[in-house]
Homo-oligomer: A and B are copies of this chain.
């Protein structure tokens, strides 16, 4: 994974300086900002992996900013604030923050919590379709997690059905890991809605895999992407690149 890019939002120049410097010394790219406008410029302009957001920002209110960002984006947000009462923390979580850290804080602990949120985000990166317009690239294919559509290498749009979309998401979430039919079925029931619950019986997964292969494999008879693990199940067998869009 690329170096994490972190937005540090605080109106106090000293605090901003301290935090960005510390984060930069610890393997991240820290981008200082002080206003919602600056935040949005960064979000529009390039990748942002996490936002450290102060609650009291002079004229602006971090909670409000968080609430608004959440409505549009799924970027991880850690609130940082001198307001440390329980009801204030809970308000932070209520507006969609991923964590809430009270000032003053131990910088090492901040770093640990930043890493925890980043790795949780990365782990569930491909599982969740709610993540904003992430696209996944593999073998020339572009899968858009938002619309659930796929662009062929020749830039032709291929429609996936409800169930096929769910299957692709499950497999995408576990690259290079062989999944049994049961594991796939369970995940399908979580991701896509359980159309008919009787998933236990039979070979529905095999048929589903075949149909997906026909849509995304160049040579469905000799699959390169969706390989069979005999006696086990199926693997998503190629490397996947996740890109912003």
Contact = CB atoms under 8 A, between A and B. Distances in A.
A47 B116 CA distance: 22
Contacts of A186: 47
Nearest to A114: B93
Contacts of A181: none
6 smallest CB-CB distances across A and B, nearest first, come from: A93-B112, A123-B130, A86-B106, A74-B123, A121-B124, A90-B112
This chain's copy number in the assembly:
2
Interface in A111-158: 112-113, 115-117, 119-124, 127-130, 147-148
A122 B127 CA distance: 8
A217 interface: no
Interface residues of A, number: 45
Contact of A2 (B74, B98, B113, B190): B190
Nearest to A112: B93
Contacts of A189: 2
Contacts of A129: 123
Given A2-B190, A124-B74, A124-B120, A162 B94 contact: no
A200 interface: no
A189 B2 CA distance: 9
Contacts of A215: none
A62 interface: no
A181 to B, nearest CB: 16
Interface stretch (A20-28, A29-37, A191-199, A219-227): A191-199
